[in-house]
Structure 1
Amino acid sequence: METTEKSIDVLNDLIEINNDRVAGFEKASKDLGEGEFELKGIFDKFAAESRTYESELSSEIARAGGEAETGTSGAGALHRAWLDVKATFSGHDRKSVLEECERGEDAIKKAYRTALDPENELALEAADLIRSQQQGINAAHDQIKALRDSQE
């Protein structure tokens, strides 16, 4: 596969998982109880962050002459469906919502690590963009994990 085409595929995979992340945080926000304004604000911030990442990745794809994805991944849809089932049994409690958000953050962290694999032969600009976004993803994961840990 040509390097540019391979890079576009990698960037599109990141777009899909960021779209999954937006949908996941929107779903998690809805699953929280009425008094969870602080946590809903955090989820809104992370969803907005992924919308920005998606836009930046789309611009990078356009620069490479490709067409950006607009949807979510099949795995993301399955995760949200699982979240729905678990929420039915857990009653949307704060800890279970945070646990599921952390699982989602683990998945996006892995996707960013995989994207940076040297075998993907990313252009320097694309790799720099991904590393920059990865820092935000890692910080968000750490914040969600700390919030989850504080529930024990």
Structure 2
Amino acid sequence: MNNNERAIDVLQELNQFVNDRIEGYERAAKNTHDPAHQSYYKDLMNQSRQFSNEINSSISSLGGTTQNNTTAKGKIFRGWMDVKSTVTGNDEEALIKSNITGEEWAQKAYNDALDHRTELPQNVVQLVEKQKQASMATCERLRQMEKAAD
């Protein structure tokens, strides 16, 4: 497998998670009773769509097929799907906790992708690092929301 093929594989796997993230925040936006939270979750949905587009653009530039699936692939994706399935529509704190867990899974997915940094073009490494930083900031904000919901 050459570096382009490996990079495409890494990015396709990462993008499956990003697509699951879109679904997770879509669900959170529908289930929350807090208008401010709903607005934030919709922003995160849009951010995730932008992330997916950026990753797909990188995949295309490397000669690969874009990834639009939300199929659970590997432990990361199954874990996120399990978390999403336990969300209840009437418990704000459980919803926030689920989103925190999802972002923790996201960071694992970004770290897994970055474990292959030597096989990735520098611009792709920078893209993945930028998205990971955004995920970390989201996780921090969600933890603040959780404290406020206590």
TM-score (norm 2): 0.89
Moved runs in structure 1, 4+ residues, more than 3 A? 75-86
Q: What does residue range 1-152 of structure 1 map to in structure 2 within 5 Å?
A: 1-33=1-33, 36-74=34-72, 76=77, 79-80=80-81, 82-87=83-88, 92-118=90-116, 121-152=119-150
Assess, with a 3 A threshold, how the Cα gap between structure 1 residues 57 and 83 changes in structure 2: closer, same or farther. Answer: closer
After TM superposition, the structure 1 stretch with the greater mean CA deviation from structure 2, 75-84 or 23-32, is 75-84
2:71 maps to a residue whose letter is S
**1:51-101 CA deviation, whole Å, 9 max, x = no partner?**
0011011111111111111111316477446534442xxx52110000000
Aligned length: 147
2:128 maps to a residue whose letter is I
Q: CA deviation at 1:120?
A: 5.7
Structure 2: state its 5+ residue gaps: none
Assess, with a 3 A threshold, how the Cα gap between structure 1 residues 32 and 77 changes in structure 2: closer, same or farther. Answer: farther
Q: Is the 8 A contact 1:7 1:120 kept in 2?
A: no
Q: What RMSD over aligned residues (CA atoms) do the two structures have, in Å? A: 1.9
Assess, with a 3 A threshold, how the Cα gap between structure 1 residues 10 and 134 changes in structure 2: closer, same or farther. Answer: same
For 1:109 and 1:66, the matched residues in 2 are separated by 24
Assess, with a 3 A threshold, how the Cα gap between structure 1 residues 26 and 131 changes in structure 2: closer, same or farther. Answer: same
- Percent identical: 26
For 1:58 and 1:128, the matched residues in 2 are separated by 15
For 2:118 and 2:104, the matched residues in 1 are separated by 21
2:102 maps to a residue whose letter is G
Assess, with a 3 A threshold, how the Cα gap between structure 1 residues 128 and 78 changes in structure 2: closer, same or farther. Answer: closer
Structure 1: state its 5+ residue gaps: none
Q: Is the 8 A contact 2:72 2:81 kept in 1?
A: no
1:24 maps to a residue whose letter is G
2:114 maps to a residue whose letter is L
TM-score (norm 1): 0.87
